[in-house]
Amino acid sequence: MPPTPAALRALAHRTLTRQPSIQAALNEMGFLQADPIRAPARAQDLTLMQRVRGYRAGDLERLYTTLDAEEDMLPNYGFVPRRVQALLHPREVGETRIEREHPELLDEVRALLRESGESGELHPREVAARLGRGRVANAWGGQSAASTRALDALHHRGEARVTRRVSGVRLYGPAPHLAALRERPLSLEERLRGAVHLLAALYAPLPEASLGYLVSLSGFGLPHLRSELRTAFRRAVREELHGERVDGLRYVWPAEWDVSAPATPRGVRIVGPFDPLVWDRRRFAHLHGWTYRLEAYTPAEKRQFGYYALPVFQAERAVGWANLRAEGGELRADLNFAPGVRETVALRRGLEAELGRYRRFLGLEG
């Protein structure tokens, strides 16, 4: 008997299980997507706020050096424990634009990394001051110092790591653990299967087509293994994951999950736009009956939801969205509800409690 949409909605909430620490949450998730927009906080903080008891905005950045955590790329840019990073390296990367335009620059930055020593670190501003080279276009259509782009390139190659952030700026240092992986990598099968199953466990239950899209995006993390990833994905959905059709849409999830009677979540949650609970817009529209969009890059006059709308859940259902901002030491909330949703006393009380959590998270209480 295939699960009902209600059962799938409840099952999707398993990703919100509260953890005792940032490390426990990162270990459980395997991948934490990052984004620099703060509205009212960065995506990684919004995601951890829903999973770590007592989490405060910026805790990940403050505690990063004490964690088993690395910044890296899987389907998107984010944070992973080193056991997951071992799936991604050694990474074979073709020639980048910065190498074509400044062919000698990477070697100069490599020399600075060696000079810093295994426990040292480089601020991009320091590298720019020492090496110069002007500015080049970055991946977001803006301009970055060529030396900063060189550091990014070496990071992507696994020749450098992010040691920490200062006011959001990444500092870099040598990555001896990745050099060791180049000498003794995991088997190809272990890397491919591990990546596919990590995505399935983090984002499931989700439509098979959506998992395929996530695997395609993971070609950014494993650029030289794109075709092998697709093969591993097809094998997983055919032989290793469980799948059922629900309303004509084939969903997949890890075979060991019990989907017969998932616990129904309680209360109200306001989650970030990159949270695994809402990341797949195909699943969101199917299970909740309305379309949600992130409109940060949509012209203001064309926005339906607002600059950085956060989906609002009551129990397992998405009932609306909120635009939150810290202003004058207070939390301002613009709340909207999906068609057909009525603001009951229970919903209003749940929203008040959740907004109280956001005030504590943002340091606005009192």
Condensed to tens digits (0 to 9), the pLDDT of residues 280-303 reads 999 999 999 999 999 999 999 999
pLDDT at 140 over 50: no
Whole-number Å distance between alpha carbons of 202 and 253: 10
Among the listed residues 100, 95, 131, 97, the one whose alpha carbon sits nearest the alpha carbon of residue 113: 131
Condensed to tens digits (0 to 9), the pLDDT of residues 66-107 reads 999 999 999 999 999 999 999 999 999 888 888 888 888 899
pLDDT value at residue 102:
83
Weakest-pLDDT range from 65-69, 144-148, 343-347: 144-148
pLDDT value at residue 133:
52
pLDDT at 110 over 80: yes
pLDDT value at residue 139:
47
Do 110 and 116 touch, CB atoms closer than 8 A?
Answer: no
Average pLDDT of 243-269? 92
pLDDT value at residue 365:
75
